[in-house]
Structure 1
Amino acid sequence: MSGDAANNRLIARTSASLQRAIAWVRNRPRTLLATIIGLAIGVVVIWVSHPAAILESLGEVDPLPLLGALLLNVPVVALRAVRAQVVLRFLGHTVSFRSMLPVQLVGQTSSTVTPAASGDYLRAYIWRRQHDIPVRAGAAVVTFERLYSLFLLLALAVLARITSGRLLGRYASGALEMADNLRRLLRSPQLLTLASGITLTIYVLSGLQVALLITGLGDTIHITQAVAAYAISQTAGILSTLPFGLGASDAIVVTFLAGYGLPVGEAATVAVLLRGVSTLPQALAGLVAYLRLDGSVAPEPAAAGEVR
């Protein structure tokens, strides 16, 4: 009897091992494809960030403020993940910080390499795949973050007020449900207050990155001016139809910093360094997060045509 039990355990272990091996073989093409796509994105990120110019500019800046600017990426990314958690929770969906962080990084990277930062909507699909959150709810969260962030960016930049309307009516009931979710988000004073606090903190930290880079070059700027320069440059990047906000955001940084009294050459160096300490490391962190998701952003055959 004991021999039969031992044989049964051996058969069960062998069967489990075979099932794992079969699953690994089946998932291998998808994982390989995800790796190839991720590496391609990484190459594009590095190439468009002008690494030669970044390396040349690094020799002109004091390393301590540069390190401080680099480390500020940690709270910036963490706060973005927390903000997404807060907004999703308002719609009745809970995602842990540990699960949210890699998704946030992937969304940040995909928005960086797509026109008008449209790749950020990839987050909605990943939430659907990993946490069974309807795409309509996830898309409403991303739209809320983008519209509200854009509003705050323009407000910080002391530009004209904007409305939050955007055409959504192409996908019938799905779009209407997403619009309803978005309307709920925009009508909650508590959510708007909390989201405003988190978003403004992100902008101040990002402006502090600009100020630290300028300090590293031996000059100074008021923090409000640094935040304004960052805010306006991000607005230009979001509205730009080119990936990375190519040219638009950099030109705005140079123009406004020069307007605040910095030499044009120094302002241009700050714009280049800002890509080196912010855009590039966050994008590469997103690449690592994408690979750690093990290709889960790739569509499943059974669910490829399904949108909830």
Structure 2
Amino acid sequence: MTGLMIIAGLWLLALALAGIGIFQEIRARQLRERISRMVRTKILEEEQILLAEIEDEEMKMSLPVRLFRTFVLPLVQQFSRFVPQAGASLKVTEELLAMAGYPLGLMPSDLMGLRLLLTLVGSFLGAFLPVLLAFKIPWVLTPTNIVISVSICSIVGFLGPIFWLRRVANCRRRQILRQLPDMLDLITLSIEAGLAFDGAVHEATRRFKGPLSDELKRAMKEVTLGKPRAQALRDMAERLKLEDISLLVSAVHQAETLGSPLAEALKALATELRKKRLRMIREQIAKLPVKLIFPLVLFIFPTLFIVILGPAIVQLSRTGLGGG
């Protein structure tokens, strides 16, 4: 009798344990399904947010930029397949694009394809230009003039994108230099208010708009993805190739290494950069008289002479003719 009771008890215990195991498995499956639904929902929300940001960025673009990205960029990408994917020129192009902030969404191979496309277009325009001018100036249509026209238009088409890219890069770097002292002041205030460096940078980039904010956002995103902060800042300085950004990276690295107050270092750097900017402005002001000589001599002085001496010359000519 006792043995039967023990066996029955063991069976009941086994059934209870089996029921608990089944119940736990059901709860685990429900929890996994719930987590998967939450993850899918989160992914969909992030995708929707990303699509909304992309649409907002596209809507902020001007009409020529959107037309270029819609119609010209696919054609440029087709031409980029004929461009070697390695070489010194491609590396230089990549550095220029990084300094310019990758305008129009161009990659190094895309820019080389654009140069190839514009060279071909320039060749065709150079060949047809003398034909069009021949209707007004018949002597223009000669083989020598056609060769010269094709050569000039091809060279312009090949070198034009590089000159444009250098101009965009220089304008972007000047904007960064103008924004840097104010950005450092805001980062310093945020650090003094109790934020860490990453939080201070995030707060500053949220309030400032411009190329410097975009570069700092990119650096902080790289830090979030696992890159060391010092390396991300050094990469930013390497992309922009600006001495002031290198000074910022050195100040942050030195403060972290030596344990000195970062806010004081950034405040001193902002003061020094502001003084440097003031010196540059004074230098530009000092150069203005020399730069104004040519417009004065070529445009303003002749106009003044015509306005002032014109009526007197007309009156003298009339009186002289009348007296004669």
Asked if Structure 1 and Structure 2 have the same fold, meaning a TM-score greater than 0.5 normalized by the shorter chain, the answer is no
Could you say which structure has the higher helix fraction?
A: 2
Query: Which protein has the larger Cα radius of gyration, Structure 1 or Structure 2?
Result: 2
